[in-house]
Amino acid sequence: MKKPNVTTLGYAILGLLHVEPRTGYALRKVFETTPMGHYSSSPGAIYPALKRLEERGLASSKIDDSTKLRPKQVYSTTRTGVDFLRYWVSQPIEKQNVVHDLGDLMLRFSFMGTLVNDRVTYRFLSQMASGINLYVGELEQMLQDMPVTVPPHGRLALQSGISTYRAQANWARQAMREFASEAERDAEK
């Protein structure tokens, strides 16, 4: 078994399988009808991705013949797969994550519920909030250093980024409150 090298789509699938075993078709439905659709979706991506997860020992499939329809291939996570997911969501947040893929971070967050305890979730949110704050500082510096140009589009685009990040940081701080109880017991020592 090779060192599992999984793409974002792979993680998204694995996370969904951990919530509940599903067929490739069911996964496609999820990607088509929810905001997760970002991690597209076409059969040409899903089915090969499932095959890879199975090859790498992170998921396993069994055939369901019980319906009159075409037999389904139902995938679920393996023990290894769950451990792998847990490891993934528990990684410390790097600056790079904040800069390039907040989406990835949110994907990790949305799967944490059944994988880690509130303390880990709390730490994640806290790291996210402070990571964003740091980066917002940098962006504001860029804004300051930006020469005043005639078309204001560049400056405005930067401001858009800043306000988006701010909103995300606010959300994180709000969300922290929902996981504070367990974390506080920890801090009171």
Partner DNA sequence: CCCCCCATGTAACATGTTACATGATTGA
Partner DNA sequence: TCAATCATGTAACATGTTACATGGGGGG
Contacting positions for DNA (CB under 7 A): 5-10, 23-26, 28-29, 40-45, 47-50, 52, 67-70, 72-74
Q: Smallest gap, in angstroms, from Cβ of residue 132 to its own copies?
A: 12
Contact 56, 4 (CB under 8 A): yes
Q: Smallest gap, in angstroms, from Cβ of residue 123 to DNA?
A: 26
The answer to whether residue 152 forms part of the interface with its own copies (CB under 8 A) is yes
Amino acid of residue 20: E
Q: Smallest gap, in angstroms, from Cβ of residue 121 to its own copies?
A: 7
Number of DSSP helices (H) and strands (E) in the chain, helices first: 9, 3
Helices 118-145 and 180-187 cross at an angle (nearest 10°) of 90
HSE-CB at 185 with a 13 A cutoff on CA atoms is: 5
- Residue 74: strand pairing partners: 23, 62
Which of DNA, its own copies, none interacts with 8 (beta carbon under 5 to 8 A by kind)? DNA
**Residue 99 or 162: which CB sits closer to DNA?**
99
- Distant-in-sequence contacts of 38-43, Cβ < 8 A, 24+ apart: 38/103, 39/8, 39/9, 39/12, 39/107, 40/9
Q: Smallest gap, in angstroms, from Cβ of residue 91 to its own copies?
A: 16
Closest CA to 108 of 6, 27, 40, 23: 6
The 24-43 contact track toward its own copies, x by CB under 8 A, reads ----------xx-xx-----
Q: Which residues bind its own copies (CB under 8 A)?
A: 34-35, 37-38, 99-100, 106, 109-114, 121, 139, 142, 149-154, 156-161, 163-164, 166-168, 170-171, 175, 178
